[in-house]
Structure formats: C-alpha cells, structure tokens
Amino acid sequence: MTVFLMKDMKGKKIMEKTDNVYGTSLQGYIKASYEQLLKAFGAPHEGMSDNHKTDVEWAFEFADGTVATLYNWKNGKNYCGDEGLELNDIYEWNVGGKNEKAVSKLLEKLRLKIANDIVDDAIDKSIIL
C-alpha cells in the first residue's frame, strides 16, 4: 500500500514512499526546519528510523528510479538522550541515496512547496484586503 504518493498535474507519478533503501549512503545535506519538511513530505515514515542514531526518516523513490532518504543523524534525543535536540530545533538534515541526484530531487520538491506556500499566503492576504 502506498502511504505517500505525489503526482504532477497530469496525474503522472513524481515520487512515492519506498522501503527500497538498500545501498543508500550519505550524499549531502538539506537545511530546513522540521515544520517545512512535514509540509513538503508529510509525516516521517514509520519503521524507517533505527530508533538509535536517527529520530525520524523519510524514504522516497522518484519516477526516474532515484531513491532518496532524509533523516537526522546522531543529534536528536534517541542518540544523545536529554542533551539531544528536539526535532523542531534541527535545521540540518542528512540526505541519503545512491548518488547526488537524491539531494537535488528532494531540494527541488522542498523548494517548490516553500514557493507554493509563499504564493498561497500572498493570495490569502490579497483576498482579505
């Protein structure tokens, strides 16, 4: 069952949740708030986190076969205990994949969501005026 599926305006699959993360490794980083990630990618995927070195994780497969994971690493409560950061205090997230394309694909989706939110806010404010 697909829990997360993103399609373009023509109904073509863009990305979906995946468990197919074997062979992925760190490819880069994304700077964003936890709230921005939730808005862009939905709730973290259950069962993905190792519950020790990470606190939350997302994993997606794009239409072209690119697999990307997004997670915090050794900076949250699971790894650092009481000294660890709360999710809302984490602003640098690890991106895993099989190549750097994973980073660019996730960044593209995140930037699109942020841009759409800015436009929606502007529209909402102009309607109120």
User: Residue 53 and residue 126: Cα distance in Å, rounded?
Assistant: 45
How distant is the alpha carbon of residue 100 from its chain centre? 15
| Model pLDDT for residues 16-63, shown as the tens digit of each residue | 999 999 999 999 999 999 999 999 999 999 887 777 999 999 999 999
The token duo for 2 is 């697909």
Q: pTM to 2 decimals?
A: 0.84
| Contact assessment for residue 69 and residue 55, using Cβ atoms and an 8 Å cutoff | no
User: Residue 6 and residue 4: Cα distance in Å, rounded?
Assistant: 7
So where are the chain's domains?
A: 5-128
| Contact assessment for residue 66 and residue 102, using Cβ atoms and an 8 Å cutoff | yes
Which residue carries 């009481």 as its tokens?
82
Given this model, what pLDDT does residue 8 score?
A: 61
| Model pLDDT for residues 55-84, shown as the tens digit of each residue | 999 999 999 999 999 999 999 999 999 999
Alpha helices in 42-100 (DSSP H): 77-80
